[in-house]
Amino acid sequence: MSATGDFRISGLQFPDGFTFGAASAAYQIEGAATEDGRGASIWDTFSHTPGKVANGDTGDVAVEFYHRVDEDLDLIKSLHLSAYRFSIAWPRIIPAGTGEVNEAGLAFYERVVDGLIARGIDPVVTLYHWDLPQPLEDRGGWTNRETSYAFARYARVVGERLGDRVAVWTTLNEPWCSAYLGYASGEHAPGHRSELEALQAVHHLNLAHGLALIELREVVTRPDAKFSVTNCLATAYAADPANPEDVDAKRQIEALQNRAFTDPQLRGFYPPDLLEDTKHITDWSFVRDGDVQLINQPIDILGINYYCTGTARRGPEHSTEGTPYPGATRVEAVEQPGPYTDMGWNIAPHGLYDLLVATHEAYPEFDIMIMENGAAYRDQVVEHNGVKRVHDPERVDFLLRHFAAAHRAIKAGVPLTGYFVWSLMDNFEWAFGYAKRFGIVHVDYETQERTKKDSALWYANLAETGVIPEQLAGGILSSPGRN
Ligand code: IFM
């Protein structure tokens, strides 16, 4: 199935009990940045630093989820979603990262969890979606192993309060981004550019995941609660699969982006080839005896986020300072064929299929959930006879093709149990601010009015029936090209 070709779907039925959800993250939606005892996070600092975020946007107000919980939970209900994935802001729970617990923060998330359950929607909680309390960053952030232990305590505090109700726990969201975009390329908070720091961050994020799981398993009481971690795994191809040098370039990307996380988390070791590739940066002596055993805790669900593909080839020797690929000194990225979304990311549903199959082959014992998949487009509200609509045929087509790819993976034997569309609503897209719209629900940032896009209506039908009805995909997926 190519991204551009027409194809007809004739009623694809998802298995009974398949989770149809949507996802979000605290800093991207909540606003209320200084209310009810919330402390500052690295994203408050970063977004308030001139030049770091497009248009000087910040998450101070975002889409006011903090003040619109009931309205937004009703919205989720109206879309027939069986689960909602949201993240908890560590600085609302333990404002300084360590020390005092903020009751108002716990009470807020309790309201969200109870509101979801009352509406028959499973709460899926991410504990860390990038909003590290600033006081921890002031002591080294993820380069400091104390941060891992502080995270474990935070996980315990949340688990003690919500552990009788939350359906699925995911410890970290995309630690690749936290480590490499945060500490190597500086595109994300805290904005550092150090290859060594990035690799230290990789390890301390992994350690945080393991330590948090140990705490959670002690305090969570919901008998059918599931535990997971969410990685954004690269779907990497070799430019020329017959050329061993290109194959090696792909191996290096997979080691840095995928196995640096999944091997310690799921297998209890760091990939020897990763240590070799990065030995000019560090001897990894920050990995202490026993750490990998702590990291390698049992999980039930492997969460993956998928957006696009990458292709690698062997290139001339170059420095990787300031890039998100520490040590990949002879790897060159190959331009991906379009069409593209408004992020400039290529649309490749076959990549989702390949990733699901490859992940299942490598780690066959885990159920898999797609914790994020979606697309940004330049959506506009139109009015017909006084009714507001957002026509987003590209996003409908994107989702249709990716759900079809997921269905194909299930047929091929992948134990895929759920799919969360990114994102429920338009929101703060990190360094892009509010310039990129990923929501299936449009938000007018002036008025905070929510309008369901056509993709939300399409998805609501899928979530309600479990079936992609007979439909023609094609002719819609086109884009003006990369930004
Ligand atoms: O918005 C982000 C999300 O926070 C993490 N995964 C990728 C999304 C789109 O960039």
**Residue from 340, 303, 284 nearest 482 by CA:** 340
44: its two tokens: 């408050």
pLDDT at 10: 76
SS3 120: coil
pLDDT at 153: 99
- Tens-digit pLDDT profile for residues 432-444: 999 999 999 999 9
Q: What pLDDT is recorded for position 478?
A: 39
Burial class of residue 449 (count of CB atoms within 10 Å of its CB; 0-12, 13-18, 19+): exposed
- Rounded Cα distance between 190 and 276, Å, is 27
Nearest-atom number in ligand 1 for the CA of 423 is: 1
Q: What is the pLDDT at residue 7?
A: 73
Whole-prediction pTM:
0.97
Query: What spacing in Å lies between the alpha carbon of 483 and ligand 1's midpoint?
Result: 18
State residue 385's pLDDT score. 94
- Say how far apart CA 301 and CA 95 lie, in whole Å: 29
- Cα–ligand 1 centroid distance for 308 (angstroms): 12
SS3 assignment, position 123: strand
Alpha carbon nearest to ligand 1 atom 4, residue: 25
* CA of residue 141 to ligand 1 center, whole Å: 21
Could you tell me the domains of the chain? 6-234+262-304+343-474 (3.20.20.80)
Q: Identify the residue whose tokens are 């609501």.
A: 460
Among residues 30, 137, 215, 372, which one is catalytic? 372
Which of 29, 308, 372, 421 best tests ligand 1's pocket when mutated (most atoms within 8 Å of CB)?
372
Contact between 200 and 287 (Cβ < 8 Å): no
Helix, strand, or coil here: 382? Answer: strand
Phi, psi (rounded to 5 degrees) for 48: -90, 0
Residue 305 confidence (pLDDT): 98
Atom number in ligand 1 closest to CA 343? 10
- Please give the structure tokens belonging to residue 476: 């819609």
Q: Which of 31, 62, 50 is nearest to 434 (CA)?
A: 62
- Quote helix, strand, coil % in the chain, to nearest 5: 40, 20, 40
Q: What is the pLDDT of residues 294-317, one digit of tens each?
A: 999 999 999 999 999 999 999 999
Give the CA count within 13 Å in the CB-facing half-sphere of 148: 23
Task: Please enumerate in sequence order all residues whose Cβ is within 8 A of that of 171, keeping only pairs 6 or more positions apart, or say none.
Answer: 126, 127, 128, 155, 208, 209, 212, 213, 216, 227, 228, 229
Active site residue 174: yes
Catalytic residue of the set 30, 174, 394, 429:
174
Query: How is residue 185 written in tokens?
Result: 């390329």
Residue 296 φ/ψ, nearest 5 degrees? -80, 70
User: What ligand 1 atom has the least distance to the C-alpha of 374?
Assistant: 9
Query: What is the pLDDT, as a whole number, of residue 308?
Result: 98
How far apart are the CA of 431 and the centre of ligand 1, in A?
Answer: 11
Q: CA-to-CA distance for 292 and 79, rounded, in angstroms?
A: 41
Query: Using a 6 Å CB cutoff, which residues line ligand 1?
Result: 25, 28, 174, 305, 372, 422, 429, 438
pLDDT at 223: 98
Mean pLDDT for each consecutive 10-residue tract of the chain (483 residues)?
63 96 99 98 99 98 98 98 99 98 99 98 99 98 99 99 99 98 98 98 99 98 98 97 98 98 98 98 98 98 98 97 96 96 98 98 98 98 96 96 97 98 98 98 98 98 93 56 41
Determine contact, residues 359/368, Cβ cutoff 8 Å.
Answer: yes
